[in-house]
Amino acid sequence: MKLEKGAETVDEEKWVYDSSVDHKGRVPLRASTGVWKASLFIIAIEFSERLSYFGVATSLVIYLTRVIHQDLKTAARNVNYWAGVTTLMPLFGGFLADACLGRFTTVFISSVVYLLGLILLTLSTLVPSLKACDAAVCLEPRKVHELVFFLAIYMISIGTGGHKPSLESFGADQFDENHSEERKKKMSYFNWWNLGLCCGLLLGVTVIVYVQDHLGWGAADIILTAVMALSLAIFVVGRPFYRYHAPSGSPLTPMLQVLVAAFKKRKLPYPSDPAELHELPRSRVAGKGRLLCHTERLKFLDKAAIVEDWENCAEKQNPWTLATVTKVEEMKLVLNLAPIWLATLPFGISVSQTATFFVKQGTMLDRSMGHGLEIPPASIFALSAIGMLVAVAVYEKILVPGVWRWLTAVKMVLEVRWPEILVPASI
């Protein structure tokens, strides 16, 4: 018996049994796939994507007012339209990745679209027939320039839509949750991921913006295109080292099934014991996920898991009329996010001013730092990024530990001294 367990342990150390496969569709060999040898390729392309995105986004309002000669109101509206589309695109990208394409394919296709958008953006500033104007003083840009320019930035939006929901998750797929060492490394991966993201952001709003302001828009676009092309090549080179998970199907279908089943059974009484609700045995979900415990909130959804007499036979069970407790709880978790999402709307409205009026106001400031150095107006956006980094550090290292110590002290006082507090209060 011990020999069998020992052989099983050695086998799990050699191979990865988390439903992932290597690039040839085989069970991945732990020593040659995943972990840092794979995730570094992924962090590299995230760095270049953030560099390109913020290099374009932070100076977009300046380009629209200076080069295309739009008034501030029109330019701000166009920037917000573009930012809104860019924000919505990850919903479609994530759906495609989960439903049919898979994360690697989604990232690759979106990176190609992103690169094509940057190439088109570069051509719009360098090719004479696509430039805004030929004259030194331009009063009205060519319509073809506007067409190519807006096509380019919206292609970048589409590329971002595939990157944001898939790339970070694809990096997390390179670590086996069932392996203790890889689980520890996964936490470090997210730290390095955020470092790559922040480095790309800061370089985008400083170096790239400086090049735009002093060397020209074309030079900056060439740099962004070259960096994205290089990172895409690096990402493809890392293909033999990745671990791949098959698409799990549309994430919307199970949620719709729960809602439909709950509506169909809305007139049924609740069972006296939640254990009577439908759930799969643990043996059937081993290695495919985990079961969620039943909760009392949003009880109207529990009716989707009520088993009627004719549904006792597995062959007669239909996911559109009977859902598991886990599926119901997943739907509850999604609905519980709605208040959080609504609470972030005012913040989103406020932060949208940063890339428009905030940057444009920077053009009116004295930005000289002495010795002929002048900070580009779009680099003011870096203050927001630096503030975010400082706020996160203060929150994690000072605020949370301080509040936790205070709550612990209050709890101890209430536990030990409550008679001394209640007696005088009652008097």
> What single-letter DSSP state applies at residue 221?
H
Q: What is the CA radius of gyration of the chain?
A: 27
CATH of the domain at 44: 1.20.1250.20
Tell me, what's the pLDDT at 109?
Answer: 95
Q: Does 406 fall in a domain?
A: no
Q: How confident is the model at residue 422 (pLDDT cuts 50, 70, 90)?
A: very low
Contacts of 128 (CB under 8 A, 6+ apart): 134
Cα dihedral 33/34/35/40 (nearest 10) = 100
Nearest Cα to Cα of residue 176 among 186, 167, 189? 186
- Indicate the pLDDT class of residue 2, thresholds 50, 70 and 90: very low
Q: Any residues with CB less than 8 A from the CB of 98 and at least 6 apart, and which? A: 247, 248, 249, 250, 251
Angle in degrees, CA 230, 235, 240, rounded to 5: 140
Q: For residue 233, what pLDDT is reported? A: 95
Q: Which domain holds residue 281?
A: 252-336
Residues 68 and 102 grouped into a single domain: yes
Same domain, residue pair 234 and 186? yes
Phi, psi of 368, deg, nearest 5 = -75, 140
Tokens 């392309």 — which residue?
Answer: 45
Say what the pLDDT of residue 224 is.
Answer: 96
Which residue, 241, 269, 295, sits at the end of a domain? 241
The amino acid at residue 287 is G
Shared domain for 236 and 206, answered yes or no, is: yes
Kindly state whether residues 172 and 295 are assigned to the same domain. no
- Does pLDDT of 132 surpass 50? yes
Q: Do 170 and 39 reside in the same domain of the chain?
A: yes
Spatial CA neighbour of 331 closest among 295, 289, 286, 283: 295
Q: Is 207 a domain residue? A: yes
pLDDT (average), residues 399-419? 60
Instruction: State the alpha helices, DSSP H only, in 204-312.
Output: 209-214, 217-237, 252-264, 282-285
State the pLDDT at residue 114: 96
The C-alpha angle 334, 337, 340, rounded to 5 degrees, equals 170
pLDDT at 219 over 80: yes
CB 95 within 8 A of CB 376: no
Question: In the structure encoding, which two tokens stand for residue 421, read together?
Answer: 């507090």
Is residue 280 in some structural domain? Answer: yes
Residue 95 has pLDDT above 50, yes or no: yes
Domain end call among 316, 336, 356: 336
Last residue of a domain, one of 201, 218, 241: 241
Residue 426 lies in a domain: no
Whether 4 has a pLDDT exceeding 50, the answer reads: no
6 occurs within a structural domain = no
How large is the average pLDDT for residues 343-348?
80
| Sign for the pseudo-dihedral over CA of 207, 209, 214, 219 | positive
Give per-residue pLDDT as tens, 221-236.
Answer: 999 999 999 999 999 9
C-beta of residue 141 within 8 angstroms of C-beta of residue 67: yes
State the pLDDT confidence band at 282, using cuts at 50, 70 and 90: confident
According to DSSP, residue 29 is labeled: B
> Does one domain contain both 281 and 387?
no
Q: What pLDDT, in 10s, does the model give residues 12-35?
A: 678 888 788 888 888 888 888 888
The SS3 of residue 21 is: strand
Residues 282 and 365 in one domain: no
Number of compact structural domains in the chain? 3
One domain, residues 167 and 282: no
Residue 370 above 80 pLDDT?
no
Q: Are residue 78 and residue 130 in the same domain, yes or no?
A: yes
Domain match, 389 and 331 both: no
Name beta bridge partners: 21: 244
My answer on whether 91 and 194 are in the same domain is yes
Would you place residue 406 in the very low, low, confident or very high pLDDT band (cuts 50, 70, 90)? confident
Is residue 259 domain-resident?
A: yes
Q: Is residue 332 part of a domain?
A: yes
Q: How far apart, in Å, do the first and last CA atoms of the chain sit?
A: 70
Q: Is residue 86 part of a domain?
A: yes
What integer is the mean pLDDT of 290-296? Answer: 84
Q: Are 332 and 352 found together in one domain?
A: no
Please tell me the predicted confidence (pLDDT) of residue 10. Answer: 57
Q: What mean pLDDT is predicted for residues 345-349?
A: 78
For 23-75, the pLDDT digits (tens) are 888 888 888 888 898 999 999 999 999 999 999 998 898 899 888 888 888 98
